[in-house]
C-alpha cells in the first residue's frame, strides 16, 4: 500500500504546467473516504483503496497538491466487497456532517428500497453503487448492481447517483447505451453523474457515442476523475454541455498514486513510472496527469476561462447548492 507524498518533481509539474490552469476554487466531486474498522470480512484482501482517509486527511492532502486553492468535496464511499457497508455509511455520514460537505452512500444489490430511503432521508445527497458488487463485475448490466427500486427511491427524493459503468467496452456497448437512455428518461429527477468521463479511460468508448450522450437529458452529468486520455476530455469539452461537467480527482488512493492510466487498442490500465535511460523516467501523481490531459483538451477545444472555472467549481455549486 502506497503512502501519498508530494516530491520536488510533482511540485515542478504543478508550478510549470498546472498553476496557471487550475482556477482559484476547486470542488472535488469524486473523492473517497475509508475507515479500516469497516473492512468487515474483507480484511485479507489487499488493495490500495484500503487507505485510511477521513475528511481531515483528504483536505490536508488536497491543500498540498492544490496549493492556495479554495477547496470543496463530495465524499464517496469506497466500494469494497464483503466490507461492513452499514458501518462504512455511518462513518461517511459522520464525516459529512462534521465537515459540512455532501456525501453519497454505498449501496449494493442487496440494499432494499426502504434502506435506500432511510439513507437518503438521514443526510446523504446521493448513492454510490459499484459494479464490484455484481455477480459479474466485468460484464454486468446497470441493474445488476443498481436495482431499479433504488433508482425509483432516488428519483422520488430528487437525489444523485454516481455511476461507474461496467462492460468491457463501457459506453460503446449498445446495452449500456440503451439502459442509460431508458433509465435517465424514466427517472428524470435523479441527477446521474457518469464517473470517469462516462468511464471513457480510452477515448474509443466516447468517439461514436458522445453524440448520444450529449442528447440525453439535463439530468445527465459527467465527472472527469482519473482519466488521463486527452481525447476523452476533448470530446466532452467540445461536444457535451459544459455546465454539466465536474472536476473530480479520485483521491486519495487512486488519484494520488504515482503513474498514469495508459491506453492501447481498446484497453486501458494503470502504468507506474519506470527507469528510462533515454529520458527522465520519474512519474508524477495520477491527478496531475489527469490535469495535464484536461489542460491540453481545453486548449484544443477552445474552452473559455469561464468554462474552466465552471468545470472546477461553479457547476458543482449549482448541483450541490
Note the pLDDT of residue 291: 98
Domain residue ranges in the chain:
8-13+25-320
79 upstream amide cis, omega within 30 of 0: no
DSSP H helical ranges for 133-223:
142-145, 148-157, 174-186, 195-199, 204-207, 210-215
Tell me what the pLDDT averaged over the chain comes to.
Answer: 95
Cell of 283: 512519474
Note the pLDDT of residue 54: 97
Cell of 40: 468487515
pLDDT in tens, the chain (321 residues): 567 889 999 999 999 999 999 999 999 999 999 999 998 875 545 566 788 999 999 999 999 999 999 999 999 999 998 899 999 999 999 999 999 999 999 999 999 999 999 999 999 999 999 999 999 999 999 999 999 999 999 999 999 999 999 999 999 999 999 999 999 999 999 999 999 999 999 999 999 999 999 999 999 999 999 999 999 999 999 999 999 999 999 999 999 999 999 999 999 999 998 889 999 999 999 999 999 999 999 999 999 999 999 999 999 999 998
For 204, counting Cβ atoms within 10 Å of its Cβ (0-12 exposed, 13-18 middle, 19+ buried), the class is: buried
The 3-state DSSP class for residue 291 equals helix
User: Which of 223-240 are b and which e, b meaning 16 or more Cβ less than 10 Å from the residue's Cβ?
Assistant: bbbbbbbbbbbbbbbbeb
In CATH terms, the superfamily for domain 8-13+25-320 is Metal-dependent hydrolases (3.20.20.140)
Cell of 217: 437529458
Note the pLDDT of residue 47: 63
H or E element that contains 86: helix 85-99
Note the pLDDT of residue 220: 98
- Cell match 452499514: residue? 86
User: What pLDDT digit, counting tens, does each position of 100-110 carry?
Assistant: 999 999 999 99
Cell of 150: 433504488
Q: How far apart are CA 87 and CA 92, in angstroms?
A: 9
The residues, ordered by sequence, that sit 6+ positions from 174 with a Cβ below 8 Å of its Cβ are: none
The 3-state DSSP class for residue 3 equals coil
Q: How far apart are CA 55 and CA 313, in angstroms?
A: 19
The residues, ordered by sequence, that sit 6+ positions from 260 with a Cβ below 8 Å of its Cβ are: 228, 270, 271, 283, 286, 289
- Cell match 464517473: residue? 195
Radius of gyration of the chain (CA): 18
State the SS3 of 79-134: CCCCCCHHHHHHHHHHHHHHHCCCEEEECCCCCCHHHHHHHHHCCCCEEECCHHHC
Amino acid at each position: 500500500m502506497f503512502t501519498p507524498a508530494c516530491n520536488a518533481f510533482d511540485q515542478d509539474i504543478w508550478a510549470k504546467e498546472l498553476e496557471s490552469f487550475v482556477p482559484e476554487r476547486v470542488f472535488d466531486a469524486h473523492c473517497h473516504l475509508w475507515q479500516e474498522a469497516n473492512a468487515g470480512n474483507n480484511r485479507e484482501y489487499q488493495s490500495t483503496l484500503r487507505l485510511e482517509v477521513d475528511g481531515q486527511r483528504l483536505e490536508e492532502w488536497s491543500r498540498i497538491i492544490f496549493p492556495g486553492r479554495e477547496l470543496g468535496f463530495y465524499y464517496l464511499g469506497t466500494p469494497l466487497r464483503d466490507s461492513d457497508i452499514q458501518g462504512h455509511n455511518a462513518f461517511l455520514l459522520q464525516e459529512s456532517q462534521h465537515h459540512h460537505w455532501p456525501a453519497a452512500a454505498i449501496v449494493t444489490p442487496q440494499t432494499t428500497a426502504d434502506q435506500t430511503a432511510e439513507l437518503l432521508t438521514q443526510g446523504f445527497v446521493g448513492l454510490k453503487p459499484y459494479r464490484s458488487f455484481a455477480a459479474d463485475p466485468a460484464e454486468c448490466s446497470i441493474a445488476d448492481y443498481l436495482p431499479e427500486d433504488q433508482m425509483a427511491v432516488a428519483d422520488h427524493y430528487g437525489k444523485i447517483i454516481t455511476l461507474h459503468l461496467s462492460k468491457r467496452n463501457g459506453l460503446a456497448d449498445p446495452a449500456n447505451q440503451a439502459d442509460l437512455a431508458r433509465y435517465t428518461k424514466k427517472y428524470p429527477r435523479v441527477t446521474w453523474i457518469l464517473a470517469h468521463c462516462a468511464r471513457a479511460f480510452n477515448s474509443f468508448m466516447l468517439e461514436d457515442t458522445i453524440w448520444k450522450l450529449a442528447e440525453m437529458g439535463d439530468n445527465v452529468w459527467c465527472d472527469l476523475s482519473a482519466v488521463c486520455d486527452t481525447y476523452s476530455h476533448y470530446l466532452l469539452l467540445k461536444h457535451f454541455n459544459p455546465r454539466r461537467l465536474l472536476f473530480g480527482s479520485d483521491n486519495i488512493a487512486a488519484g494520488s498514486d504515482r503513474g498514469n492510466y495508459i491506453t492501447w487498442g481498446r484497453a486501458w490500465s494503470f502504468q507506474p513510472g519506470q527507469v528510462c535511460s533515454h529520458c527522465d523516467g520519474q512519474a508524477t501523481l495520477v491527478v496531475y496527469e489527469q490535469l495535464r490531459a484536461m489542460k491540453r483538451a481545453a486548449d484544443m477545444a477552445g474552452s473559455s476561462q469561464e468554462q474552466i472555472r465552471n468545470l472546477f467549481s461553479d457547476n458543482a455549486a449549482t448541483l450541490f447548492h
